[in-house]
Structure 1
Amino acid sequence: MIVTQDLEVRVGARTLLNAPGQHLRVQPGDRIGLVGRNGAGKTTTMRILSGETEPYGGQVVRSGEIGYLPQDSKEGDIDQSARDRILSARGLDQLRSSMDRQQELMESGTDAQRDAAIGKYSRLEERYSALGGYEADSEAARICDGLGLPQRILDQPLKTLSGGQRRRVELAQILFAATAGSGRSQTTLLLDEPTNHLDADSIHWLRGFLQKHEGGLIMISHDVELLNDVVNKVWFLDAVRGEADVYNMTWKKYLDARSTDEARRRREKANAEKKADALRKQAAKLGAKATKAAAAKQMIARADKMIDALDEVRQEDKYAAITFPEPAPCGKTPLFAKGLTKMYGSLEVFVGVDLAIDRGSRVVVLGFNGAGKTTLLKLLAGVERTDGEGGLVSGHGLKIGYFAQEHDTIDQNATVWENAVNACPDSGEQDLRGLLGAFMFTGEQLNQPAGTLSGGEQTRLALATLVSSRANVLLLDEPTNNLDPQSREQVLNALRTYTGAVVLVTHDPGAVQALEPERVIVLPDGDEDLWSDAYMEIVELA
């Protein structure tokens, strides 16, 4: 259970949220959708509710277990196996290690060591059993299977997994901790964009898990279908008013109620303004006569009171005007890749991938999670080096613009302004301010550290830095992740109109349709083919 008291959320000088009293409350059985446009404070509020950061004002009271999946989850020990990472949710990995140690002492230790080990092993086993240790492997396997994690990767170190696979491991760990066998089925889950990197089948499985979850749930997601099927309450963060509206209803009923409420407010405002205008005009006529001055003042007061009594009409949220750069002139084939190979230790990701990126070409990279899609873009961007003898050949006039799905191109410790200056050193101050303003970064937010931005805001900042690059080859890795529907549509429009070359990695069918690809590369084999609509069936599963 989580209860806030006079919660105030700020970032720098900006007040994102004022929630007086115990306005926000999460109890077992509550499945809350936390919504609002990018920059409204959803991720910041979630961090505060989880206890990861402190609020500017007020307090958060937590009781029971909390399972928090941040939007940019960073795993700890990357040498740890995926299986141990999942089992660590209940401390079972350490218990197993301790039990193994006592087992060794019972078999090979001295008599005194053996007697002590028997007692310790008994106590450890009792604790292990109470935490559901003997059923843990099958429970973990069921969750991993549901999230599309193959059994073969569970014994691999985390450092050998792709970003998408690591994200699934983090989600599996949190869900494993909240299963019935853990004795913590009342855990409050705080999930920030849980469907990132999930395919359609995994999202379907997750939907069923969350619908059956007995504890509380707060979820930030731009997956409208998931919200519609799971949530029974909605918290809407109003970016204009800095307030949270609480709706005790399902997603569909919330959308209908909000639409009806806004229509009512607009109608009442129009009627009140019409009546108030009539009163003011009448007061103006009366005011010309000294004997009627008091009556005129009363009419004006009535008109003002009539307007003041109205419910506030919610202002429309502003959205970024997202565009891609005008590409610089280049030769026929600005970038050619030959024999790209990537290995992690003895594990082969892909071998000998060839790709010619011609001027204005449009290519989609497909493959299952872990097939190396992100790695291929990193090699093309020069962020990583090929392990084989192959390499890149830069054509005449090549200018690469790279968008990393984990926002690796952004310096998390630098401010928004410093990131823009570093990415566009040749741009003037006014041009940069105009550029950032178009992407909705103004005023004090320019001095905000990039690491404190939400995932959607970081996506906007990364896209903004591409605009001044005049890139003629864009390497885009999940560019629509973390974006609200309006901002996502802006990115899709930018894809439709961009005239340079694009190499795209995405789970978003809408992004593929907007790109209208000519070719497809299927990993890990690296096979190249002309695009056909038959490949759309794999996009969501890739």
Structure 2
Amino acid sequence: MIQLKNLSLRRGAKELFNSVTLTINPGQRVGIVGGNGAGKSSLFALLRGQLHADSGDALFPAGWTVAHVAQETPALSCSALDYVLDGDAELRALEQQLAAAETAHDGEAIGRLHSELAAIDAYAAPARAGKLLAGLGFSQEATTRPVASFSGGWRMRLNLAQALMCRSDLLLLDEPTNHLDLEAVIWLEQWLASYPGTLLLISHDREFLDAITTQIIEVARGQLTAYTGNYSDFEDQRAERLAQQQQAFDKQQRTIAHLESFITRFKAKATKAKQAQSRIKALARLERVAAAHVDTPFDFHFEPPEHSPNPLLQVELADIGYGEAPILRRVSLSVESGARIGLLGPNGAGKSTLVKLLAGELAPLNGQLKTARELKIGYFAQHQLDTLREDESPLWHLQKLAPTTREQELRNFLGGFNFIGDMATEPVGPLSGGEKSRLALALIVWQRPNLLLLDEPTNHLDLDMRAALTLALQDFIGSLIVVSHDRALLESVTDQYWLIDAGQVQPFDGDLADYRAYRLAQQAADAAPRASAAGGAEVDRKTQKRQEAEARQRLSEQKKPLLKRLTALERELTPLNAEKAALDAQLADEAIYSAERKSEMQAALKRQGEVSARLAELEEDWLMVQMEIEALEEANI
């Protein structure tokens, strides 16, 4: 087991841990959470022997093998596969000893070493390394490429694969999902669920923590506090403790009221049943998030856009890619006002490429991209951080956007992103990745976009900032397109998905649980052995594809009039819901019941009854049409 006994640790003038006592039992999967700078990474450095306690003890079995993800990757000439195999230090040591024994023609040593290699299943090691690389998104061809040929994000995946290759007793993972897409995150979840050793995981991805952890340790105010269960259990337990403090409780209630208001607005908007259910479940979880994060330093929102053209943009029969080779072919789509879209698809399918096209950073190879004259895009991608001036301050960056705005107003705005006091005027260069991401988001929020394009916006953001961003995006009344491996964010801020795969962009009818099942089934089918009669199988596959295409076409034709009717109903529902809300507010005002306003009150009551009756009719019609569509879809499964 791991034991910390009365342990204290300082880094410079800052006290990270003060007389901490903690026990972690073998085989536990522990999530480490806390704000940036609280001491999470220092705890890992302590367990790896890189830091030493100022007082007290940090103990774990001397024979344990500890694996961690290296933060740097040298530009090596060895292949990706060999680099991952290096993670099994015992394997490499035995291989070196065997090579030396063979050079010395030492038959006894050669026999003994072959037995030891067989005992650790060394001959299956390349296949094991290959599976790790495949799970993390590397193609077969990529496994033979030199390490030096990969970009920074892919080298971090190689470091992760190397750590997983180690047959460790203790695995330390610090933000392992930061450089992964959703496909790789799902794979890593499955791998870690069967990891036999003790796992310590630093992560700001609540869904990832929920799927894996059996215990949460919160690092805050110099203490390590253990909670039994996963991250959702931690939220419940911590929220209960915080709710006992009156100030925290009051803020929690205001936030819950905001969420209830959002749920009411969402229910009034007709959407597909599955997506509605997913959304409401996510919002129910967010009530716990809000309670667990009542002491967050982040508090911001999006001002309404100045214009809301409809549609915002349209793509017509566009081939999209780089050079002459399209990644996406004959793409046709429209982004309507108020759309909230999540992009799904395997790594390399073209999600970021599509976002770059929509952002105007990439021209279509052919076809057309049409944009509304009043379109105003807020685009966040990781390379946006590179556009920040390292030698200038957050305040300077905001003043460039708003030269005539008073400095105090700009400071107040930056304070909502926790750039307070001297932080607002100090250079950006020394800031962490999370702080730079917060600044990039702040600059986008200030500009009041009517279309947000967010490509992995939560990378480097801690849980408090993710919760604040989620609440702000829920309240954003413009249009939104998101690429993210953070499933909690996707579920909470989007209400439809586009699937990008095999060069195509098409709607995905389902929620993230459906998508996970779809991808796992797809991966299982890809891994199945090929039929021995390849020729006959190819003919059967072509026939099956043709039949499936014909069935989809029939279904599309049958659904077309129903979808048209659904759209018409939704167009009538929207203004009536708005009118109903206005009438309810008018009749909630006590002044309207005075004698002088009797006729106004009577007219409002009459109109409220008419609107309520019409809404009931429309909602029943909408439900019937939706049921007809679902029946058609089930009949064609």
TM over 0.5, yes or no?
yes
- Any idea what the Cα deviations from partners look like across 1:130-158, whole Å, max 9, x if unmatched? 98653311222343455565646534567
Counterpart contact for 1:333–1:359, Cα < 8 Å: yes
Choose from 102, 115, 126 the match for 1:137. Answer: 126
Which amino acid in structure 2 is aligned with residue 45 of structure 1?
S
Q: What residue is the counterpart of 1:273 in the other structure?
A: none
Q: Which has the higher contact order (CA 8 A, sep 6+)?
A: 1
Counterpart contact for 1:49–1:60, Cα < 8 Å: no
Choose from 219, 222, 225 the match for 1:237. Answer: 219
How far apart in 1 are the matches of 2:337 and 2:466?
25
Q: What residue is the counterpart of 1:247 in the other structure?
A: 226
- Any idea what the Cα deviations from partners look like across 1:305-360, whole Å, max 9, x if unmatched? xxxxxxxxx995224224235434376565555432137xx997445545554555
Q: What residue is the counterpart of 2:200 in the other structure?
A: 218
Q: Describe the SS at the equivalent of 1:323.
A: coil
Q: What residue is the counterpart of 1:418 in the other structure?
A: 393
2:160 counterpart of 1:171: yes
Counterpart contact for 1:321–1:490, Cα < 8 Å: yes
TM-score normalised per structure 2: 0.56
Q: Describe the SS at the equivalent of 1:175.
A: helix
2:181 counterpart of 1:197: yes
Unaligned residue ranges in structure 2 (runs of 5+):
247-291, 520-637
Q: What residue is the counterpart of 2:42 in the other structure?
A: 45
Q: Describe the SS at the equivalent of 2:86.
A: helix
2:30 counterpart of 1:32: yes
How far apart in 2 are the matches of 1:434 and 1:539?
42
Compute the displacement of 1:77 (Å).
3.3
Alignment of 1:98-497 (within 5 A): 129=117, 133-144=122-133, 151=140, 153-155=142-144, 168-177=157-166, 179=167, 185-194=168-177, 197-199=181-183, 201-210=186-195, 212-213=196-197, 216-224=198-206, 227=209, 231=213, 234-238=216-220, 242-247=221-226, 249-251=228-230, 317-329=295-307, 335=313, 338-342=318-322, 349-351=327-329, 353=331, 355-357=333-335, 360-381=338-359, 385=362, 388=365, 395-404=372-381, 406=382, 408-409=384-385, 414=390, 418-419=393-394, 421-422=396-397, 425-427=400-402, 428=405, 429-446=407-424, 447=426, 449=428, 452-453=431-432, 455=434, 457-480=435-458, 487-497=465-475
Choose from 2, 10, 14 the match for 1:8. Answer: 10
Counterpart contact for 1:35–1:42, Cα < 8 Å: no
How far apart in 2 are the matches of 1:360 and 1:256?
33
In the alignment of these two chains, the number of paired residues is 457
The 1:229/1:470 distance shift into structure 2, 3 A limit, reads: closer
Which amino acid in structure 1 is aligned with residue 401 of structure 2?
D
Counterpart contact for 2:33–2:218, Cα < 8 Å: yes
The 1:522/1:24 distance shift into structure 2, 3 A limit, reads: same
The 1:229/1:365 distance shift into structure 2, 3 A limit, reads: closer
The 1:389/1:187 distance shift into structure 2, 3 A limit, reads: same
Q: What residue is the counterpart of 1:87 in the other structure?
A: 85
Counterpart contact for 2:293–2:467, Cα < 8 Å: no
Compute the displacement of 1:175 (Å).
0.7
How far apart in 2 are the matches of 1:33 and 1:425?
41
Counterpart contact for 1:339–1:390, Cα < 8 Å: yes
Which amino acid in structure 1 is aligned with residue 125 of structure 2?
A
How far apart in 2 are the matches of 1:382 and 1:133?
51
The 1:463/1:189 distance shift into structure 2, 3 A limit, reads: same
Compute the displacement of 1:438 (Å).
0.8
How far apart in 2 are the matches of 1:463 and 1:49?
33
How far apart in 2 are the matches of 1:349 and 1:52?
46
- Bigger drift between 488-497 and 154-163 goes to 154-163
Compute the displacement of 1:86 (Å).
1.9
The 1:261/1:350 distance shift into structure 2, 3 A limit, reads: closer
Q: Describe the SS at the equivalent of 1:41.
A: coil
Which amino acid in structure 1 is aligned with residue 18 of structure 2?
P
Counterpart contact for 2:205–2:486, Cα < 8 Å: no
Compute the displacement of 1:167 (Å).
5.4
Higher helix share: 2
The 1:249/1:491 distance shift into structure 2, 3 A limit, reads: closer
The 1:493/1:234 distance shift into structure 2, 3 A limit, reads: closer
How far apart in 2 are the matches of 1:259 and 1:136?
46
Q: What residue is the counterpart of 1:538 in the other structure?
A: 515
Counterpart contact for 1:9–1:56, Cα < 8 Å: no
- Bigger drift between 145-154 and 433-442 goes to 145-154
How far apart in 2 are the matches of 1:204 and 1:468?
36
- Any idea what the Cα deviations from partners look like across 1:2-44, whole Å, max 9, x if unmatched? 979531247xx8x4x53135656778656432122x4352555
Counterpart contact for 1:472–1:501, Cα < 8 Å: yes
How far apart in 1 are the matches of 2:16 and 2:37?
12
How far apart in 2 are the matches of 1:190 and 1:95?
24
Q: Describe the SS at the equivalent of 2:298.
A: coil
Compute the displacement of 1:433 (Å).
1.4
TM-score normalised per structure 1: 0.64
Q: Describe the SS at the equivalent of 2:307.
A: coil
How far apart in 1 are the matches of 2:331 and 2:54?
54
Unaligned residue ranges in structure 1 (runs of 5+):
103-114, 180-184, 267-313
